[in-house]
Amino acid sequence: MSDLLRAENLSAGYVTAAGLVQAVDDVTLSLREGEVLGIAGESGCGKSTLAALLARNIQLPLRVTGGTLSMDGELADLSRALPRPQRGTLLSVLPQGAMNAINPTTRVRDLAYDVLRAHESGVTRKSARERAAERLGELGLPPRAVDQYPHELSGGMRQRVVAVISTLLNPRILIADEPSSALDVSSQQALVALLRDLLSREIIRGVVFITHDLPLMRSVADRVAIMYAGRLAELGQTDQMLNEPRHPYTRALVGSVLVPEPYVRRHRIEGIPGSPPDLANPPVGCRFHPRCPLADDKCLTDPPRVGDLESFAYCWRVAEAAQGQPVAPTAVAGSGA
């Protein structure tokens, strides 16, 4: 069985007057059939950029600088956006607050019509309405929502309804970029339950779920990738990642509160001094080494990937531990930043 998505050494950056902001750097990961792959990390670490790359929503100033992406076993042409016939069928995107951006005079049934009409030119408004109502009912949501306007639905219901409508064409892959960040905890859990239901009914086959919220990640993801400064630090089974993290950054993150708001971007992770680097001028070697209590001179060179493609960490200390060597720091962190 091929992976739904496979990124290999994928790199991309924003072209700015000050140079290239390398927002995604050498990322290798896969999304397997039947799973929710979570992507977490502090604000500005590149989560949304990675989501845009995986969805092939690549628009200037974002530019791919290296690597490959396979979708459902086929190498994707990263110089082109996802072709229209594959939008909604191979892949759909569920953004944050999707329906807030929709014209307030558009009812849910009009949205369903637009989604279906993009692929079935002969679809009628009546049958689009019926199919949307049926799908809502099948998933335990009120079918009458099809006749409602966005403002008539609560925020949580709106986001669940959009999730249902955007998956009407049974896309194999759903990319959910912070879909729940504006929701209260019970609405978040209801959205997670809905995504799980969509997967178990095989309406969708895999989900990439982006969030800065680690407690939420625990309830939604089968595996989690942790990003730091554009790179993956660690990827593994959710339980292992949250209970026995290997990478010093994951350990720090798990023990801290993540904050998404731009004005607190310089928030310090509890117990770790410093802040994430400027991606226009990142440190050499391990991106985390200037803040890592275990860093030594080796960390000035790129860390090896330790583990297989299902579960790995990029870290010299983890590599040494895997070889039975001591992991004590031998130099003061902070060099090379």
Ligand X SMILES: Nc1ncnc2c1ncn2[C@@H]1O[C@H](COP(=O)(O)OP(=O)(O)OP(=O)(O)O)[C@@H](O)[C@H]1O
Interacting residues toward ligand X by CB under 6 A? 14, 16, 21, 23, 41, 43-49, 61, 212, 260, 279
Q: Among candidates 135, 4, 10, which has minimal Cα distance to 67?
A: 10
Nearer to ligand X by Cβ, of 82 and 279: the residue is 279
Beta bridge partners of 55: none
Rounded-to-integer distance, Cα 292 and Cα 286, Å:
10
Nearer to ligand X by Cβ, of 60 and 332: the residue is 60
Nearer to ligand X by Cβ, of 137 and 274: the residue is 274
Nearer to ligand X by Cβ, of 52 and 133: the residue is 52
Nearer to ligand X by Cβ, of 14 and 149: the residue is 14
Q: Among candidates 206, 181, 186, which has minimal Cα distance to 196?
A: 206
| Per-residue DSSP letter, 90 | T
* Cβ 112 to ligand X shortest distance, Å: 29
* Cβ 37 to ligand X shortest distance, Å: 16
Nearer to ligand X by Cβ, of 62 and 300: the residue is 62
Does residue 61 have a cis peptide bond before it, meaning omega lies within 30 degrees of 0? yes
In this structure, are residues 235 and 249 in contact, taking their beta carbons and an 8 Å threshold? no
Nearer to ligand X by Cβ, of 19 and 142: the residue is 19
* Cβ 279 to ligand X shortest distance, Å: 4
* Cβ 212 to ligand X shortest distance, Å: 5
* Cβ 272 to ligand X shortest distance, Å: 18
- Which of left, alpha, beta for 73 (phi over 0: left; psi -120 to 50: alpha)? left
Nearer to ligand X by Cβ, of 226 and 294: the residue is 226
* Cβ 199 to ligand X shortest distance, Å: 24
* Cβ 211 to ligand X shortest distance, Å: 9
Contacts 24+ apart (CB under 8 A), 280-287: 280/16, 280/18, 280/19, 280/20, 280/21, 280/22, 282/22, 282/25, 282/229, 282/230, 283/336, 283/337, 284/336, 285/336, 286/314, 286/315, 286/316, 287/228, 287/229, 287/230, 287/231
Token readout for 265 is: 């971007």
Q: Count CA atoms closer than 13 A to 156's CA, side-chain side.
A: 13
* Cβ 165 to ligand X shortest distance, Å: 24
* Cβ 221 to ligand X shortest distance, Å: 16
Query: CA geometry: angle at 192 spanning 186 and 198, to 5°?
Result: 140
Q: In what order do the strands lie in the sheet with 74-75?
A: 19-31, 5-16, 62-71, 74-75
By DSSP bridging, strand 223-228 and strand 305-308 are unpaired
In this structure, are residues 41 and 209 in contact, taking their beta carbons and an 8 Å threshold? no
Nearer to ligand X by Cβ, of 23 and 162: the residue is 23
In this structure, are residues 312 and 306 in contact, taking their beta carbons and an 8 Å threshold? yes
Rounded-to-integer distance, Cα 331 and Cα 11, Å:
30
